[in-house]
Amino acid sequence: MNVSDELLTAYADGELDERQRAAIDAALVQDASLAARVAQLRSLRTRLQSVYEPILEEPVPPRLLALLQTSGAGERKAQMLPFEPRAVKTITPHVSASRRWVYGSALAASILVGFMAGVLATRGSNRAQLELVAGVMVARGALAKALNSQLAATQSATAAVRMNISYRDRAGNYCRVFSGRPGAGLAGVACRRGNDWQLQELAAGPGDGGNTGAYRQASSEIPTAVLTFVQSQIKGDPLDAEAEARAASSGWRKSSP
């Protein structure tokens, strides 16, 4: 019996009538791969449920209960303004180096997304910024500007954002390692996608690890996590000053030589 994915999914979700279900039951007995597929569908459901189930046991915040318990005029005026800026303590765990690639380097972005939830302020566009675009952190403001045009060889010592290393990743995209103020020990990697620079990695140092990686440059304070990231992604050598200047003048286009 030829069972479509759609039908099998409906079966796993309990959406079939008695007759259809019996037919699939029969097919499952004969076809181990079908049975495995159903098990997979069910295991995803179980996994999702077991993660979200404990929320049902949590105490409900009083502010929500208060909305429903009070009576009389003015009851609907909540005392707390939703989406007030608040200090966000993100507890996203540090992913070990080996798993980092499994989850993708968007981990840092996911942390940023969380942070953004608490950020209301819009600030001057001359500052280094990140913006969430379609679930990806994209460089804006001074950060985008620096990534576009600031060259490691010629940058000012007082630049707010410093460019450390530029390289091409295995997919051929240009990527640049940037860092915050000297001494801040904050660095990230942004890679060119289309006309944007997407944040790939973000970490803090120093003391993040004393082990200097192969691409660590003398004056830089690039955290180990960033170096590890670069080492795993880089194809060939980092760009030298000349290659970097050429890449910048070609707009960091992937196809450029």
Rounded distance, CA 146 to CA 126, Å? Answer: 11
**Quick check: 68 binds other proteins (CB under 8 A)?**
yes
Is residue 223 a contact partner of residue 209, using CB atoms and an 8 Å limit? yes
Closer residue to other proteins in complex, CB, 193/243: 193
- Smallest gap from Cβ 236 to other proteins, in A, equals 28
**Quick check: 230 binds other proteins (CB under 8 A)?**
no
- Smallest gap from Cβ 207 to other proteins, in A, equals 10
Which position among 1, 22, 127, 240 is part of the footprint of other proteins (CB under 8 A)?
127
Which position among 23, 34, 106, 159 is part of the footprint of other proteins (CB under 8 A)?
106
24-53: contacts with other proteins (CB under 8 A) = 36, 39-41, 43-45, 47-49, 51-53
Using CB under 8 A, which of the segments 20-28, 166-174, 198-206, 241-249 binds other proteins? 198-206
Using CB under 8 A, which of the segments 115-123, 151-159, 214-222, 248-256 binds other proteins? 115-123
Cis peptide before 206 (omega within 30 of 0): yes
The contact pattern for other proteins, residues 151-190, with x = CB under 8 A and - = no contact, is ---------xx------------------xx--x-x-x--
**Quick check: 91 binds other proteins (CB under 8 A)?**
yes
**Quick check: 15 binds other proteins (CB under 8 A)?**
yes
Using CB under 8 A, which of the segments 128-136, 150-158, 231-239, 243-251 binds other proteins? 128-136
**Quick check: 112 binds other proteins (CB under 8 A)?**
yes
Rounded distance, CA 69 to CA 62, Å? Answer: 10
DSSP 106-156: THHHHHHHHHHTT------TTSEEEEEETTEEEEEHHHHHHHHH--TTT--
Rounded distance, CA 201 to CA 86, Å? Answer: 24
Size of the site for other proteins (CB under 8 A): 89
Which position among 99, 170, 246, 253 is part of the footprint of other proteins (CB under 8 A)?
99
Q: What is the CA radius of gyration of the chain?
A: 25
Closest CA to 28 of 19, 17, 36, 20: 36
Closer residue to other proteins in complex, CB, 1/160: 160
- HSE-up of residue 200 (Cα within 13 Å, Cβ side): 26
200-219: contacts with other proteins (CB under 8 A) = 202-204
Rounded distance, CA 157 to CA 171, Å? Answer: 32
Q: How far is CA 83 from CA 42, 75, 88, 120, 131, in A?
A: 36, 20, 12, 8, 18
Rounded distance, CA 191 to CA 162, Å? Answer: 15
**Quick check: 242 binds other proteins (CB under 8 A)?**
no
**Quick check: 128 binds other proteins (CB under 8 A)?**
yes
